[in-house]
Amino acid sequence: MGESNKGNGLFSKFLSVLSGKPASTQDPQSKEAGAFAPSQKEPVDLAFVKRFTDSGGKFLYCENTEEIYENLEAITKEAGIREVFCRDHNLQSILSRGGMNFSDKEYKSADAFCSECEYLISFNGGIMISENQTLGVKLEQLPEVFITIAYTSQIVENLRNGLTGIRQKYEKLPANITTIKGPKGTEGIDQMNSPSICQKDIYLILLEDQI
């Protein structure tokens, strides 16, 4: 897939879209403050992408669903994937249109695992998942290649926001809430306030839904 060149292009594309969004976090008094105004906080979506890619995660940005299919075909070739373990019926349809073979029963022989996620955590570049995605299979038993399909609206600032969102979404808090990152390590993570952490070789397909 030409990871470095394609990744840089997708990152630039993401920055281009982000720059066209309303500056919702801008201080309305910043124009009057001029040079003496404090520097603006980095948008949570941009911060997430930077930290996710810094951890070794492979970031693929899509403005529409057609681009998802193109990226899935590229991932198949780059990672040599023969079969994907996926139990999500909506994602199975996407995988099929992206030319990927999938199974919803056998994970031991699969080359990759595909799921959605609960949230994307900006402060550490992690992907928050739970038993709602793994469906009873232990994380360490799943294939080492993860394909996560998520939306920009799922990006939140920190773990506390993610856990709050999960509590609001479900009547009962799901088990096995975990943050996964790229394979380069977990430096800088607040272990005291973090769910358990598991490293995988992660492809994140991020679909824009906030333009």
Would the pLDDT of 177 be above 50?
yes
- pLDDT tens, 103-150? 998 899 999 999 999 999 999 999 999 999 998 888 888 999 999 999
Question: Sign of the CA dihedral 201, 111, 85, 4?
Answer: positive
More confident residue, 26 or 136: 136
Burial class (CB in 10 A: 0-12, 13-18, 19+), 209: exposed
The mean pLDDT of 46-75, rounded to a whole number, is 93
pTM of this structure: 0.78
Cβ contact 200:166 at 8 Å = no
Of 27, 13, 70, 5, which is closest to residue 211 (Cα–Cα)? Answer: 13
The mean pLDDT of 183-203, rounded to a whole number, is 59
Would the pLDDT of 19 be above 60?
no
- pLDDT tens, 148-173? 999 999 999 999 999 999 999 999 99
Complete domains list, the chain, with CATH: 3-14+44-207 (3.40.50.10420)
At residue 48, the pLDDT reads 94
